[in-house]
A and B are shown apart, each in its own frame.
Chain A
Amino acid sequence: MAKAGFKLEARPQPSKAWSYGSPLLALLCTVIIGVFLFMLLGKDPLRGLQVFFWDPIKTGYALGELVVKATPLLLIALGLAVCFRSNIWNIGAEGQYIIGAVAASGVALLADKATGGWIVVLVLLAGIAGGMFWAGITAFLRDKFNANEILVSLMLVYVAIQVLGFLVYGPWKDPNGYNFPQTKAFEAVTRVPRLFQGSRMTIGVLLALVGAAGIWVFLFRTRAGFAQQVGGLAPAASRYAGFSSRRALWTALLISGGMAGLAGALEVTGPLGQLTPYVPAGYGFAAIIVAFVGRLHPVGMVFSALLMSMFYIGGELAQSRLGLPKSLTGVFQGLLLFTLLACDTLVNYRLKWVKAAAVAGGSK
């Protein structure tokens, strides 16, 4: 009956070793494909690898930049991990990030020279509220109308981009900005404080790390976090235990919306300093990859956020130093998720060689 060949055999229990090994194997596969891609483009593959994996960590300043870009990725991914562990597919974090940035900007624009430093707190809270509101729409439509959260959250990304566009081309446009679609530069008092002089790192880094710890405690040390994950793994068991699936839905989406909104607020009042149409940088989508590569675990995601940030910086360096398009970043990000999913098969299955077996009845 069986032809010779590899066959997948279900493991009695998921392999712990492979669940850590698979992201590394996936990274290796991505690098190998990258080498071929560089050769195809007629570039020295060693130089290409150097630009992507060594230059971003070579100097102190470069490391700082790495952390700057990893911060929003980590914040968003932390929230997404709560969603994905609850089997809620929020893929519209990009929109929640944008609306967070918009809401934070709205508050920041109210400040003037006389405003006190407390405004920063309001700015960040506005960002969180904005992101929660945007994710709340998805939760509401899923809860009350049973609407698929994948499609709703994604459609809301396109809506958010238009909201941002309307504001920066319309009512919020800087009157002294030579007609550029951007708000005036925010007052210094509204900008999130920097960690060190001369670095672009802000206290956002600390907030992201506190967030990682907070999500760890929530997921693994609280009853609510446990209920959240049971609902994701075994909805029937969760109902039997009396956990509310509606509560899980709202909790997951509000947490992830709030985290994405905070990331947007920190970005717009940190490195950017004003609202422009270039606020959406794809962090909301890249964070999905960060979440999966980091095994939906807060500690893992710290590392995967740094890795994904490296891809971003590598793409920029590949543009300036090798004359390659910046979009190479997206290619490598997509490849990494693809290879990761393939490698993850090894977590639950064993690859087994099956010999050709003759079956009773004589046929080979």
Chain B
Amino acid sequence: MDAYALLIASTLNAGTVLAIASLGLLINEKAGIVNLGAEGMMLCAAIAGFAAVVHTGSDVAGFAAGMAVGALLAAIFGVLVIWLNTNQYATGLALSLFGSGFSAFAGISYVQAMMPARQTYAIPVLSDLPFVGPALFRHHPLVYLTVLFALALIWFLYRTRGGLILRSVGESPESAHALGYPVRGIRLLAVVVGGALCGLAGAYLSIIYTPLWVEGMVAGKGWIALALTTFATWRPARVLLGAYLFGGVTMLQFHLQGIGVEVPSQFLTMLPYIATIVVLALISRNPAWIRINMPASIGKPFYPGS
């Protein structure tokens, strides 16, 4: 019983990392920009956040550092893609390659570093309930904030004028431009917000989730977060659900090892990646369905007056 409570708890924890990053990427994809640099931003944010906690002792400073680094890298990407019309895929790829090199380089002296003792979290009363207590109510505040953020994002995207403008920029930048909206500015803002959230996810990974700095520690989570937006056909609620599902797949390997399943560990480690491929193939099978839900101008440059 307790093993399952633990499995649920760790699923939520792992899913939170994916959810934060993927919701961020969703925002910039809604504005029509695909940022393949998620992995690189998360890596740089992970080391920046970790280093900030080591030096200041404050988790909040760590999250802030992670978000700042994510936002900064995304801003560089955004300027290249939006103002210099560089190819979005190639530029995002460059960001991922640079990020993995730079984080390894910057993090070399932090490999053995220790953060101050990690706090435990518990919601009074609720956390003492049997089973649901350890499963649901002993998490870092960000786990709950992520759910709230997803709800807020749904409200913003589909119930506010700002959300409508953001979506129009991703669907038809020409029309948005003709209506007088600063398309490029809005796109840059969306990219920077997406980067900040990827940064937050990276910082959560190194400060709360692992909590350590190891070279390459994001281990493809940035790419899985990118795949999640497609899985979810660009709907925030489905992104959240998908993130927990994949968090569960990641955790299943440890659970299976725990209950003594006789499978070489490498095959269990493969699971999340294979699951990503399988789900991606199943969801994409119907091109029409993807096309209906996908922001129409995703990946396409927009340069006013061209």
Contacts and interface: CB of A to CB of B under 8 A. Distances in A.
B87 A341 contact: yes
Contacts of A151: 223, 226-227, 230, 276-277, 280
Interface in B235-288: 264, 266-267, 269-270, 273-274, 276-277, 280-282, 284-287
Contacts of A348: 85
A162 B273 CA distance: 10
A38 interface: no
A152 to B, nearest CB: 5
Contacts of B284: 145-148
Interface residues of B, number: 51
Interface stretch (B59-67, B96-104, B125-133, B169-177): B96-104
Q: Sort A-B residue pairs by CB-CB distance and give the 8 closest, nearest first.
A: A330-B101, A334-B98, A327-B104, A145-B281, A166-B266, A337-B94, A162-B266, A327-B105
B151 interface: no
B119 interface: no
Nearest to B104: A327
A236 interface: no
Nearest to B264: A166
Interface in B87-124: 87, 89-91, 93-95, 97-102, 104-105, 108
Interface in A138-187: 141, 145-148, 150-152, 154-156, 158-159, 162-163, 165-166, 169-170
A15 interface: no
Nearest to B79: A342
Contact of B86 (A158, A289, A341): A341
Given A148-B227, A285-B97, A288-B97, 16 more contacts: A8-B83, A145-B282, A146-B285, A152-B277, A155-B224, A159-B270, A159-B277, A325-B105, A325-B108, A327-B104, A337-B90, A337-B93, A338-B91, A338-B94, A342-B80, A344-B86
Interface string B214-232: 0100011001101100100
A349 interface: yes
Nearest to B269: A162
Nearest to A146: B284
B1 interface: no
A44 B90 CA distance: 33
B234 to A, nearest CB: 14
Nearest to A345: B84
B97 A334 contact: yes
A10 B84 CA distance: 11
13 contacts: A10-B306, A146-B285, A148-B227, A151-B226, A152-B281, A155-B223, A159-B273, A166-B264, A327-B105, A330-B104, A334-B40, A334-B100, A342-B84
Given A158-B219, A334-B97, A345-B85, A146 B287 contact: yes
B74 to A, nearest CB: 13
